[in-house]
Structures are given as C-alpha cells and as structure tokens.
C-alpha cells in the first residue's frame, strides 16, 4: 500500500514539473506540424469549368484536406470580386469538394479567376485552427452571347481511361494549334471505376487534355460510367444540366441536345442484379425530347446538334436498341444537322438516310491509338463543319453540314 502511495506521489510531482510540461508541449508541436499540409499538396484537382449556361458557370475543384474555399474573379484581368458559399448563414467549409456557381456574369466578356483554399486543421465548437492557403493559377473563361455565331467544340469518346491516347490527342491539338471554346466527352471516358481516387486520377488527365480550367467541359455518361463501385457517387464530380445526365444547352445560335442511353443491355440482364431501371429513364427522355423540340430555345436556334453515346441508327444487326423505338419517331422530323455518337469502338459515318437516319450520323472510334478519333465541330457564320482527326493528326473525315 505504501509503495503504491509513493509511486502515485512521484508521478503527480513529475506531471507538474517543467520537464513534463515541455514534453507535452513538444508532443503538441509535433502533432501540429504533422497536421499542417504543405501548400503544394492542398489541391487534389485543378479547377474545372462546368455548365456554362446563360449568364452562369460552375467552377469545380477538389482538395486533399478540409478547407475554407473561395473564388476570386473579375473582368479586364482583375480579381476584384470574391465569392464564398453560405448555407442559411453558415459558411460551407471544412470540406474537400467545391462547386461554385458564378451568376450575373456578362456574356461575351472574358473573366479571369482563381480558386483559393485555406486548410482547416482544427474545427471545434470554440476553437478553429488553419494551415496554409493554396491559390490556383489565374484562368479565364468567356460565356457566349445569344448572338454568337462562331465557335469550335472538341468531342472525345470511349477513351476508356487510356492516358496514352489522351496524350496523343493533346499533341494533335497543340501541334495543329486548334483553338476551341468547349469540350464534350461523349461517354466511356471514366470507365468501370471502383474508387474515388481512380476517378480523380482519370478526371485530372481528361481535364488536362481539355484544358478544363479555361474551357468548359460536358461529361456525358456512357454505359461504362454506370459500372464499378464508385459509379453512383461519380456524378458528384460534375455539375449536370438540370441535375440529370441528359439535357440541352445553347452555344450562341446553336442548340446542343444531349441524351443518355443508359446501359447497353436490358435491365433484366443478370450482371445488373436488378439494380437498374433504364427503361423508365429512357421514357423520361421522350418527354424531355418533346419539350425540348417545342421549346423557343430549340426553335429559334440556327443549328442543332444531337449527341449521345450509343448509336441508335445502324446498317448492321443490333440486338438491343430500345432508344431507337422510343426516340426515332420524334427524331424523324427534328431538324438536327448531325448526330455525334460513340460506343462501337469502330469509326462509322452514315450520310443521311443510309441507316434510316434523318440526319448525318458520325460515330467515333475506340481507345487504342490506331482506331481512336477526335471530332472538331466548327461554326463560322452560317458554315458548320465537322472534322474527324486520328491520333497522328491525319484527317479521317471532313463534312460540310
Ligand atoms: Fe466504350
Ligand atoms: Fe459504350
């Protein structure tokens, strides 16, 4: 009993001694040093532009650590406006996913912006601590006006996470000096992803290909974006038009309609384990298409482009083609100038009527460098052209539409 008493006394006295205080402080210092992230490790992605509709655009980025996030932006090369996000008075912070919708912008004006992230190392009820602040480079974007007649769009499809093919296309863009306004990824580009880290890795590569900090991107869903453990969460990386994977947007006087065919086999196929209902989803798009075709935005547009992943017109036997049955009756009388498709991994061009298609259909290639193709859709005044380029930069097809 006596021994225990003396041991207790010695421990208590040591706890009060300067040596112990110094040891505790040292431990805290070490702990704090470990939790502050080096500034160059704060960003997980560079900013990428999404949903450039009307006078609004979304700037997305991810951080590796929880932060206070804000965007600095302005016209004429200035960054004189600052935007934080609040929900019911409380700043949305201490998070890692950042989607900032800028509104009230002037179409036709070039805006500069950078994204900023200050690490939060401690977020307690009565105590907050902060680490370093990371700033992205300054980037620019320009929203089209309703009168804009000229644009260039790039389309990629079925890249299937192949970095080599992406890099070859990046070389083509650079060597040929192709200037463009926005990019559409027409499905199967981020494929069968199991976890977020892999999705981000592929997204970063696609964003680099598209220069997505300066050029808005539309990520359409192919059937392979629907597969893999992370596929349901993956939609959170994007800001979809009307929060759905199909939609429509105008770029100046041209209307783009983007549809989503869903999976390429019936919902009852055993590999889906009864977890899909694309039958209803495709029917929903019949209603959407009817509304869109009757809309003022569609009717007043000078040109009309249809984009979807799985082709619905074909000269070869297709075993499962539910979108044809549902959408073809509406498409037969719709004034589209061209339909741009993907999925077959085999470049195909159908002039109008060749496969029952009321407008020309161009289907992109696959992911191997030898059969991959990118599309360059250019409008200058009333002239609309589609150029299809191989990974070595050679021209596969050029159409005057
Ligand atoms: Fe594919
Ligand atoms: Fe596909």
| Digit-coded pLDDT (tens) for 37-96 | 999 999 999 999 999 999 999 999 999 999 999 999 999 999 999 999 999 999 999 999
Number of H helices, E strands in the chain: 7, 21
Q: How far is the CA of 291 from the centre of ligand 2 (A)?
A: 27
Find, among 375, 372, 371, the residue nearest to 362 by Cα: 375
What pLDDT was estimated at residue 129? Answer: 96
- Cα 367 from Cα 378, distance rounded (Å): 23
Q: How far is the CA of 263 from the centre of ligand 2 (A)?
A: 8
Going by the DSSP 8-state scheme, the letter that residue 253 receives in this structure is T
Q: How far is the CA of 209 from the centre of ligand 2 (A)?
A: 20
Whole-model pTM? Answer: 0.90
Q: How far is the CA of 309 from the centre of ligand 2 (A)?
A: 7
Q: How far is the CA of 158 from the centre of ligand 2 (A)?
A: 7
Strands 338-341 and 348-350: unpaired
What pLDDT was estimated at residue 356? Answer: 96
Closest-approaching ligand to the CA atom of 159? 1
Token pair listed for 126: 């009565």
Q: How far is the CA of 323 from the centre of ligand 2 (A)?
A: 14
Q: Which of 16-30, 145-159, 199-213, 380-394 has the lowest mean pLDDT?
A: 16-30
Closest-approaching ligand to the CA atom of 264? 2
pLDDT tens for each residue of 157-216: 999 999 999 999 999 999 999 999 999 999 999 999 999 999 999 999 999 999 999 999
Find, among 289, 329, 280, 332, the residue nearest to 308 by Cα: 289
What pLDDT was estimated at residue 69? Answer: 98
Residue 271 has pLDDT above 90, yes or no: yes
Q: How far is the CA of 142 from the centre of ligand 1 (A)?
A: 32
Backbone torsion region of residue 51, taken as left when φ is above 0, otherwise alpha when ψ lies between -120 and 50, otherwise beta: left
Closest-approaching ligand to the CA atom of 262? 2
Q: How far is the CA of 114 from the centre of ligand 1 (A)?
A: 34
Q: How far is the CA of 378 from the centre of ligand 2 (A)?
A: 25
Q: How far is the CA of 343 from the centre of ligand 2 (A)?
A: 4
Q: How far is the CA of 267 from the centre of ligand 2 (A)?
A: 16
| Residue tagged 């209803």 (tokens) | 280
Q: How far is the CA of 348 from the centre of ligand 2 (A)?
A: 15
Closest-approaching ligand to the CA atom of 366? 1
- Cα 53 from Cα 207, distance rounded (Å): 19
Going by the DSSP 8-state scheme, the letter that residue 24 receives in this structure is H
Q: How far is the CA of 189 from the centre of ligand 2 (A)?
A: 9
Q: How far is the CA of 187 from the centre of ligand 2 (A)?
A: 7
Closest-approaching ligand to the CA atom of 222? 2
Residue 15 has pLDDT above 70, yes or no: no
Closest-approaching ligand to the CA atom of 310? 2
Closest-approaching ligand to the CA atom of 309? 2
Q: How far is the CA of 8 from the centre of ligand 2 (A)?
A: 71
Q: How far is the CA of 157 from the centre of ligand 2 (A)?
A: 9
Q: How far is the CA of 223 from the centre of ligand 2 (A)?
A: 5
Average pLDDT value over all residues in the chain = 93
Residue 25 has pLDDT above 60, yes or no: no
- Cα 82 from Cα 371, distance rounded (Å): 46
All structural domains of the chain, each given as residue ranges with its CATH number in brackets, are 39-142 (2.60.40.10), 151-400 (3.60.21.10)
């Amino acid at each position: 009993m006596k021994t225990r008493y003396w041991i207790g006394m010695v421990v208590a006295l040591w706890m009060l001694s300067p040596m112990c205080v110094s040891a505790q402080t040292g431990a805290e210092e070490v702990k704090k040093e470990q939790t502050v992230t080096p500034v160059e490790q704060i960003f997980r992605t560079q900013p990428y532009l999404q949903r450039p509709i009307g006078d609004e655009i979304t700037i997305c980025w991810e951080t590796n650590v929880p932060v206070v996030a804000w965007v600095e932006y302005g016209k004429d090369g200035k960054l004189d406006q600052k935007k934080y996000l609040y929900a019911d008075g409380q700043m949305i912070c201490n998070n890692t996913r950042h989607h900032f919708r800028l509104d009230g912008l002037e179409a036709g004006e070039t805006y500069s912006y950078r994204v900023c992230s200050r690490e939060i190392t401690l977020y307690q009820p009565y105590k907050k601590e902060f680490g370093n602040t990371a700033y992205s480079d300054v980037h620019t974007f320009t929203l089209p006006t309703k009168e804009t007649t000229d644009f260039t769009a790039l389309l990629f499809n079925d890249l299937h996470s192949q970095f080599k093919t992406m890099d070859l296309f990046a070389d083509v863009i650079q060597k040929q000096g192709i200037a463009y306004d926005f990019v559409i990824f027409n499905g199967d580009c981020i494929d069968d992803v199991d976890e977020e880290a892999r999705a981000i890795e592929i997204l970063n590569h696609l964003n680099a290909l598209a220069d997505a900090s300066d050029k808005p991107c539309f990520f359409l869903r192919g059937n392979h974006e629907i597969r893999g453990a992370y596929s349901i969460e993956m939609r959170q990386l994007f800001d979809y038009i009307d929060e759905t994977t199909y939609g429509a947007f105008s770029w100046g006087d041209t209307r783009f309609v983007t549809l989503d065919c869903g999976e390429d086999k019936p919902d009852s196929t055993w590999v889906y384990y009864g977890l899909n209902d694309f039958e209803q989803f495709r029917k929903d798009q019949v209603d959407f298409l009817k509304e869109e075709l009757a809309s003022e935005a569609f009717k007043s547009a000078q040109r009309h482009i249809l984009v979807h992943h799985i082709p619905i017109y074909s000269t070869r036997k297709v075993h499962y083609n539910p979108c044809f049955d549902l959408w073809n009756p509406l498409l037969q009388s719709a004034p589209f100038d061209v339909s741009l498709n993907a999925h077959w991994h085999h470049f195909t061009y159908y002039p109008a009527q060749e496969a029952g298609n009321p407008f020309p259909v161009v289907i992109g290639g696959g992911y191997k460098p030898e059969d991959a193709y990118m599309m360059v859709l250019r409008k200058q005044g009333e002239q609309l052209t589609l150029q299809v380029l191989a990974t070595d930069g050679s021209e596969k097809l050029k159409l005057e539409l």
